[in-house]
Amino acid sequence: MAYEDKFRSDPFTPGLFHCLICGKGVRNKHNHFRTHFPGDHRCWQCGVVYSRLDKLKTHLRTVHNCDYIQRTQWMTFNLNTSNW
């Protein structure tokens, strides 16, 4: 499903678009369009799910004081050192 046809330009503000699904004014059509669909980025500490990876990264940083890069390095370490 293309997201371009789900927005209309704001006639008074260049670079602002209105979502035809919810009516919200946004500047980034692609990122906003993804908010209308279930997320698949789950926090491994508390289980909250986000539709966007950048929102998960912000959540990790602000709620759990964890850097996403630290998490990926930890996962890589555990995968490499675990006994399968």
Please report, for the domain that includes residue 47, its CATH number.
3.30.160
How much is the average pLDDT of 23-30?
Answer: 95
* pLDDT score at 18: 97
Tell me which amino acid residue 47 is.
G
* 46 and 29 inside one domain: no
Backbone angles phi, psi at 18, to 5 degrees: -110, 130
- Domains held by the chain: number: 2
* Residues 45, 73 within the same domain: yes
Structural domain range at position 71: 41-81
* Sign of torsion over alpha carbons 33, 64, 45, 80: positive
Q: Are 64 and 45 in contact (CB under 8 A)?
A: yes
**Confidence grade of residue 30 (pLDDT, cut at 50, 70, 90):** confident
Do 71 and 50 sit in the same domain of this protein? yes
- Comparing CA positions, the residue from 20, 81, 72 lying closest to residue 44 is 72
Of 23-27, 38-42, 43-47, 48-52, which has the strongest mean pLDDT? 23-27
User: Residue range 57-64: average pLDDT?
Assistant: 92
